[in-house]
Amino acid sequence: GQNIDQPTEMTATEGAIVQINCTYQTSGFNGLFWYQQHAGEAPTFLSYNVLDGLEEKGRFSSFLSRSKGYSYLLLKELQMKDSASYLCARQGSGGYQKVTFGTGTKLQVIP
Amino acid sequence: GAGVSQSPSNKVTEKGKDVELRCDPISGHTALYWYRQSLGQGLEFLIYFQGNSAPDKSGLPSDRFSAERTGGSVSTLTIQRTQQEDSAVYLCASSLSGVVGETQYFGPGTRLLVL
């Protein structure tokens, strides 16, 4: 398999910052996606990293280290609506966009 | 414009019956993907279509599963002789051309329950 590992569940407080980590197999790696999935809904795109470093998009940022096979999603100023599952997805270098998803991290934001 | 649509939204069937799940991708998107998501699990890749190229069927779990894409647009996923372990949400996604790094847009899914 692609050995994508991320925590199963996390809890954080409204207004706080939370970091969701993801590790993956580095061989044949091309890029790393993060998707958000609310309960009972389809996943929606958050970010895609192919280069090392941090990319920021408003309250959400995503980081990638290619050499370490490590990524994280950083959520700032948490809101109740951020309660969802966050899926880390690894794209291989197979010439097209075959993406392997992790099992997701279920984030619960509490007041 | 319209997003990815799937039908039916929910399907309950008896073990041993065949089912067909339909996906309408975003207009103009040439790449189409099928995934399966079991309860509490991540998305499991099933099959990928790109234009007129031969599909990547490497994720299909058994020969009871098949899919086709007619006219480069609508796709149908067929499960023959359904088993209880086939119960899951089946998600379809499309992207513009399937190139590296492209966002996949997901449909709402079909929730399949095999009794």
pLDDT in tens, chain A (111 residues): 457 999 999 999 999 999 999 999 988 888 999 999 998 888 999 999 999 999 999 999 999 999 999 999 999 999 999 999 999 999 887 656 678 889 999 999 999
Could you give the CA distance from residue B47 to residue B100 in angstroms, rounded to a whole number? 17
pLDDT for A18 equals 98
pLDDT given at position A50:
92
Q: Do A100 and B104 touch (CB under 8 A)?
A: no
Question: What is residue A93's predicted lDDT score, i.e. its pLDDT?
Answer: 75
pLDDT of residue B4: 95
Number of A:B CB contacts under 8 A?
60
Question: How much is the pLDDT for B40?
Answer: 74
- Cross-chain Cβ contact A45/B105 below 8 Å: yes
Which residues does chain B have with pLDDT short of 50? none
Of the candidates A109, A41, A33, the one whose C-alpha atom is nearest the C-alpha of residue B37 is: A41
**How far is it, in rounded angstroms, from Cα A86 to Cα A82?**
10
Nearest to B43 among A96, A97, A101 (CB): A101
A interface test, pick of B91, B92, B104, B110 with most A CB neighbours within 10 Å? B104
Amino acid at A32: L
pLDDT at B8: 97
A87 lies within 8 A of chain B by CB: yes
Residues 6+ apart with CB under 8 A from B71: none
